[in-house]
Amino acid sequence: MQDNETQYYHVAVEAPLPPLTYSLNENILLPEGCPVTVPLGRRKVKGVVLSQAQKPDGDLKIKSIQSYNMEIKLPKAYLRWIEWLSRYYIYPVGQIYQYTFPNLKKKSNRKTKKAEVVPQFDQSHAPQLTPEQTSSVNTLAGSDGFSTHLIFGVTGSGKTEVYMNSIAKVLARGKKALVLVPEISLTPQLIERFSSRFPEQVAVIHSSLTPREKTNQWWSVIDHEKPILIGARSALFCPMENIGLIVVDEEHESSFKQDEKLKYNARDAAVMLGFYHKCPVALGSATPSLESWNNVLDKKYQLHKLTSRVSGRAMPEFEIIDMRQEREARKDSKVDLPFWLSQALYDKIKLTLERNEQVALFLNRRGMAQTVLCQSCGYVFECPNCSISLTLHARNHLVCHYCDYHLHLTDNCPKCADPDVHSLGLGTELVENDIAKLFPEARLARADRDEIQSREQLETLIKNIENRQVDILIGTQMIAKGLDFPGLTLVGLVMADVALNMPDFRTAERSFQLFTQVAGRSGRHSENPGQVVLQTYNPTHTSIQFAITNNYEDFAQHELEFRKQLSYPPYGRLASLRIQGNDHNKVENSAHLTQKRASILKDRHSQYEQIKILGPTASAIAKLRGKYRYHILLKAKDSKVLENFCNQLVGDEKWLPSGSRLLVDIDPYSML
């Protein structure tokens, strides 16, 4: 290269644009994957070098790269993976690249007052593995190149030990490991297990860290100080090199799907990252997603079964309480229990406390009640920004759980002025208040997003439970998975019906998973079977019937037959088109225009004959955070056909009227 010869580069910029060409008049060759700063209009934006480019023809003025950072270079496997993410999820490639870099500069002398991100513990010894665990470890550690494995193990069967023993073998070969867990499972318990087995070798990335903590953890991986990275879905974007194993624990969890901006599924993205890194991927769950289970049936994934709990401990015993019969039985009795609490669950709580053991009560609703209305005129207190009712907290505090709108509840109805205002429904706060009255000597703790808002609060709660300073734990899905408490022997699902009535084809699957996972917290360290009481108004529901026998495979067969008839995943692929904006009429018109454009596109091209267009309809939550929402659902059997259709349909979006925005969600999880 001659001195100061002008070089040209394709750069992916942090904007909804295709890669642009920039120049650099320096005696240096920028490598593929090098981060740069470039001018875009009147502002500076970040970008990543994709490749060298030829000098453009004509007199087009090419802007110059303003700065570059040769200290960071994204591995080629990550570049190819990010290109796949951009194509598959229909998202600008330059905006995806920015997920891969930390927010702050590398070093900082500023000290944090927080506890260590990864506390250090004395090195622990690996327990003796069962034959099933040993077989799984040997297969994973012996895998050469890309392959996907499903670790299907009942709750308490030791899946984490399989991960750790496999990682030990990977590290012995000089390679690295990436472990993804749902954000809710990133507890001190998990970090402690890994850091005590692999002292000074574990980095952690999740949303509760400060920007400085995240940056320091990111660099500890990039600088090869820590060969193991544990994190929530965003940890995928830390550009590790030389990966020998990727683990996705609780792979069925819906929290692996991001619903805003880049709407990716971390489980699926992790499988593709393993493909580009040419390494095995282990997906673990006691209740696998039906997509993963179908991949096992199709021989795309290799199955590893862990059929029993560690040390041969028994699975929990279920008791189903039909709350309809409970209600009838109370009509002529003098039972003085809250409407939500059955006599059977009350009796079991009492006996469990007498044995100095712990109880967990699960209800996936926060607050005191879900609806407050006037019984005189029917007025319902609703959020002005979202089309949902406000949730009552404490005695007079109304809150929207979507946009955080607050309102003070007055004694009189704001519409008719009558004092006939009443609350309906049930939440964890009301359960806690009622339990405190029934068991005044018991030490209570509540775990929901109102009560637990920081990493420190969660850590304190877990320590208190482990140290037997809590007798009864009341919580939402925050307590449903990933936690292991030796003293916990009774789990009560207060109102299972909350999970059964969502307008979504995945409702049965999610309900079965939730019931099984919550029940799996009970009796994990007890010589006697743990106890699970499930209260419901719908005891014959298939999710409940399969959950009480812990029969995943029969449930999967039943549910897959239903999915196949309707061409729902895994037998068909979905894309959700959400049209939203501030003006209802404009949004509705834009939705119909989008549907018309989609129909014309389908009719003009024979390859799109398989596409089914459903809608437009107002979303289940028709207004959210001040924006009106319509959606169109696209169905197809072939994912590539669906991908091409969506790309062609969206185009440059210039056809969409102003005031409306079109958002594409490939493989949507939420239909709300």
Strand, coil or helix: 336: coil
Rounded CA-CA distance 386/407 in Å is: 14
Rounded CA-CA distance 521/154 in Å is: 11
Rounded CA-CA distance 296/288 in Å is: 10
Mean pLDDT of each 10-residue bin along the chain, 672 residues long: 77 93 92 95 94 85 93 91 95 92 74 61 79 94 92 88 96 96 76 92 90 93 96 94 96 92 96 98 96 97 90 83 90 83 96 96 86 88 91 88 89 88 89 96 91 80 91 85 81 89 85 89 81 94 91 96 93 96 96 97 95 94 94 95 94 86 92 76
DSSP string, 206-264: -TTS-HHHHHHHHHHHHTTS-SEEEESGGGGGS--SSEEEEEEETTT-GGGB--SSS--
Tokens in use for 472?
A: 């009864």
Of 500, 513, 444, give the one whose Cα is nearest residue 472: 444
What interhelical angle do 552-566 and 290-297 show, nearest 10? Answer: 90
- CATH fold label, 317-367+426-562: Rossmann fold (3.40.50)
Q: Tell me what pLDDT residue 371 has.
A: 86
Rounded CA-CA distance 521/530 in Å is: 9
Q: Tell me what pLDDT residue 454 has.
A: 77
Rounded CA-CA distance 326/595 in Å is: 49
CATH code 3.30.70.600 region(s) in the chain = 573-666
Strand, coil or helix: 144: coil
Q: Tell me what pLDDT residue 109 has.
A: 53
Strands (DSSP E) along 92-218, which ranges? 147-153, 176-180, 202-205
Peptide bond into 570 cis (omega under 30): yes
Choices 2.60.40, 1.20.1430, 3.40.1440, 3.40.50: CATH for 7-75+92-100: 3.40.1440
Q: Answer whether 310's CB lies under 8 Å from 319's CB.
A: no
Strand, coil or helix: 518: helix
CATH code 3.40.1440 region(s) in the chain = 7-75+92-100
Q: Answer whether 635's CB lies under 8 Å from 574's CB.
A: yes
Q: Answer whether 37's CB lies under 8 Å from 101's CB.
A: no
pTM: 0.91
What does the DSSP 8-state code read for residue 310? G
Q: Answer whether 280's CB lies under 8 Å from 147's CB.
A: yes
What does the DSSP 8-state code read for residue 112? P
Give me the residues paired with residue 372 across strands. Answer: 423
Within 8 A by CB and 6+ apart from 467, the residues are none
Domain 573-666 has CATH 1.10.10.10: no
Here the contacts of 543-548 (C-beta below 8 Å, separation 24 or greater) are 543/499, 543/500, 543/508, 543/509, 543/511, 543/512, 543/515, 544/320, 544/496, 544/511, 544/515, 546/512, 547/318, 547/511, 547/512, 547/515, 547/516, 547/519, 548/318, 548/320
Of 53, 59, 38, 39, give the one whose Cα is nearest residue 6: 53
Of 486, 549, 485, give the one whose Cα is nearest residue 318: 549
Starting from the edge strand earliest in sequence, which strands make up the sheet with 20-24, in order?
20-24, 7-13, 43-53, 35-40, 67-68
Rounded CA-CA distance 541/470 in Å is: 33
Rounded CA-CA distance 268/243 in Å is: 17
- CATH fold label, 131-311: Rossmann fold (3.40.50)
**46-61 exposure pattern, b = at least 16 Cβ within 10 A, e = fewer:** bbbbbeebeeeeeeee
Q: Tell me what pLDDT residue 601 has.
A: 96
CATH code 3.40.50.300 region(s) in the chain = 131-311, 317-367+426-562
In one-letter notation, the amino acid at residue 556 is: A
Q: Tell me what pLDDT residue 352 has.
A: 96
Rounded CA-CA distance 196/124 in Å is: 5
Cα dihedral across residues 491, 496, 502, 508: positive or negative: positive
Give me the residues paired with residue 257 across strands. Answer: 265
Rounded CA-CA distance 672/670 in Å is: 6
In one-letter notation, the amino acid at residue 85 is: L
DSSP string, 6-44: -EEEEEEESSSS--EEEEE-SS--PPTT-EEEEEETTEE
Q: Answer whether 479's CB lies under 8 Å from 450's CB.
A: no
Within 8 A by CB and 6+ apart from 358, the residues are 352, 465, 468, 470, 471, 472, 473, 485, 487, 488, 489, 490
